[in-house]
Chain A
Amino acid sequence: MYDPTVARLTYRALLGRRRALILGALPLLLIVISLAVRALAGADDQTAADVLGGLGLATMVPIIGVIAGTGAIGPEIDDGSVVYLLSKPIKRPTIIYTKLIVAVAVTMVFSAVPTLIAGFLLNGNGQQVAVAYTVAALVASIAYAALFLLLGTVSRHAVVFGLVYALIWEALFGSLVPGARTLSVQQWSLAVAEKVAGGELVTSDVGLTTATIALVAVTVLATWYAGQKLRTLTLAGEE
């Protein structure tokens, strides 16, 4: 189910050249901001939760998920070089599974690790805030990577749709329409974080059971369907 060559190629596609720079720039910015906040406001649990929740989990993790998830397969389909991969005797679901693992790993490294560092910088993991948000980022990485990998196989405009989901649905509708929050990866991962922190600082609108089921279901279904899509992939010219 895991093909090292495909994995190596995907790593290179994701982190090669300047791509690693933007992936690295976002977490760096989060850490710099955490430092600035700590210097300005001192250690405060509520501030730490706001920064990690508002900037980290709500903005940075989805964007890195979009870049890693769609970047794992999108460009290959876009420029047609995916045929050389598909013509090898490797099962299509294996390709998807391998690419998913790579995308998840990249998203986790570039989102969860800086979240943990930022959390410790902000308030030294007071009330378990840093660990809670790191767990949330880890969990969200898996679901986002699977979801956006699927988008990458479905649409040529995967990046835009991924961003529309992350920014418009989760951020905008999520803050206006309470019902939209039930269908949001961010809230599901927050539910897990809530369990870890066990305090008042990290709260979610969905229960832990619902969240876990939803996370697992989304990840498994998205991966399965992406495999199916890749089996019947039609290659067309640009636009």
Chain B
Amino acid sequence: MATEQSTRTPATGSGDTRIHNIGYRSYDGPRLGRSYARLSLYSQSLRGAYGLGRSAKSKVLPMLLFVVMCVPAAIMVAVAVATKAKDLPVDYTRYAIIMQAVISLYVASQAPQSVSRDLRFKTVPLYFSRPIETADYVRAKFAALTSALFILTAAPLLVLYVGALLAKLDFTDQTKGFAQGLVSVALLSLLFAGIGLVIAAVTPRRGFGIAAVIAVLTISYGAVSTLQAIAETQGDGDGIALIGLFSPITLIDGVQSAFLGATSAFPGGVGPSNAEGVVYVLFTLGLIAASYGLLMRRYKKVGL
């Protein structure tokens, strides 16, 4: 031992105590940096939203919901091909409205999965010890859930579109409908992801987050459609449009029936007029911006 020590530490005089320099060197090569970390967080979150890279059990629900989303589209296509119909049984824009329960369940189950566990196991400060900042974390999570939702809602539209082309339906007509449908589900994905994440980011409890998200989405829709039905019996057309502003799915319905050529699912089948449609679009964009702002505020001081 004595010889070994003496080789490592040059003798600099007696009584001089020092820590051995055992040759650790700091890394001074190129670093991947902030944008790479953000991209990794995004891809991890997106994969996580479908259970990829997680346990088999947690793949079951998102995959099941994805299949449930696509199967009706496949059946519709099969029917359209078999009966040689002139048109698809359902509009591209209408599909997401019909399947809203599935979409809500998906948001409710995956939004808390994405953010609540980071809060609960206090891993958020660890993320921020990397070169990413609050805005990067929020953007990555927001973008990941939006992309996941877009995949969920656009896939059945793609099935419908491919099926429609195979059935030799009118090309321009179908392409236009498909494009309108894609715009509408993109807006829907942004809106639902924002609402889901804001609610989920408040609570570290996953189960509670799920219940809260689903409560907000379904209760607001239930309340709005009840009130709309009553306004319909009163013959109050403006009332229907006004009430429709207060639940996410009717908001999307209003936007697409005003500008994207959709027939409204509102009672009476009368969507908002163009002027009201502008209010709908502004309201939707405002909600998306507000949820982004709230998330930023939430993560400004979390865990610190």
Contacts and interface: CB of A to CB of B under 8 A. Distances in A.
A25 B219 CA distance: 11
B43 interface: no
B211 A67 contact: yes
B219 A29 contact: yes
Given A160-B109, A239-B54, A19 B208 contact: yes
Contact of A41 (B117, B203, B206, B233): B233
B58 interface: yes
B102 to A, nearest CB: 8
Contact of B211 (A47, A51, A163, A239): A163
B210 A160 contact: yes
Interface in A45-87: 47, 50-51, 54-55, 58-60, 63, 66-67, 70-71, 74-75, 78
A102 interface: no
Contact of B230 (A47, A66, A159, A238): A47
A112 to B, nearest CB: 17
B203 A63 contact: no
The dominant DSSP class at the A interface is helix
B234 A40 contact: yes
Contacts of A51: 226
Interface string B54-70: 11011001000000000
B207 A70 contact: yes
A90 interface: no
B108 interface: yes
B223 interface: yes
A26 interface: yes
B57 A239 contact: yes
B230 A163 contact: no
B19 to A, nearest CB: 39
Contact of A37 (B54, B206, B230): B230
Contacts of B214: 63, 163, 167
Contact of B205 (A40, A75, A239): A75
Interface string A153-189: 0001111100110011001100000000000000000
Given A160-B105, A160-B108, A167 B208 contact: no
A49 to B, nearest CB: 12
Contacts of A158: 207
Interface residues of B, number: 37
Contact of B61 (A26, A60, A157): A157
Nearest to A60: B219
Nearest to B205: A75
Interface residues of A, number: 40
Nearest to B231: A40
Interface string A11-47: 0000000110010011001000100110011000001
B211 A159 contact: yes
A239 B227 contact: no
B210 A163 contact: yes
A33 B211 contact: no
A112 B239 CA distance: 30
Contacts of B210: 159-160, 163
B218 to A, nearest CB: 6
B215 interface: yes
B61 to A, nearest CB: 6
B229 interface: yes
Contacts of A160: 61, 105, 108-109, 210
A167 B218 contact: yes
Nearest to B64: A164
Given A75-B208, A239-B57, 20 more contacts: A22-B211, A37-B226, A37-B227, A40-B239, A41-B230, A41-B234, A47-B230, A50-B229, A55-B219, A59-B218, A59-B219, A71-B207, A74-B207, A158-B207, A159-B207, A159-B210, A160-B105, A168-B105, A172-B101, A239-B54
Interface of B: 54-55, 57-58, 61, 101-102, 104-105, 108-109, 117, 121, 202-203, 205-208, 210-212, 214-215, 218-219, 222-223, 226-227, 229-231, 233-234, 236, 239
15 contacts: A40-B230, A40-B236, A47-B230, A51-B226, A60-B219, A63-B215, A71-B211, A156-B57, A157-B61, A158-B207, A160-B61, A160-B105, A167-B218, A168-B102, A239-B58
Interface of A: 18-19, 22, 25-26, 29, 33, 36-37, 40-41, 47, 50-51, 54-55, 58-60, 63, 66-67, 70-71, 74-75, 78, 156-160, 163-164, 167-168, 171-172, 238-239
Please provide the 4 A-B residue pairs with the shortest distance between their CB atoms, ordered closest to farther.
A159-B207, A159-B210, A59-B222, A67-B211
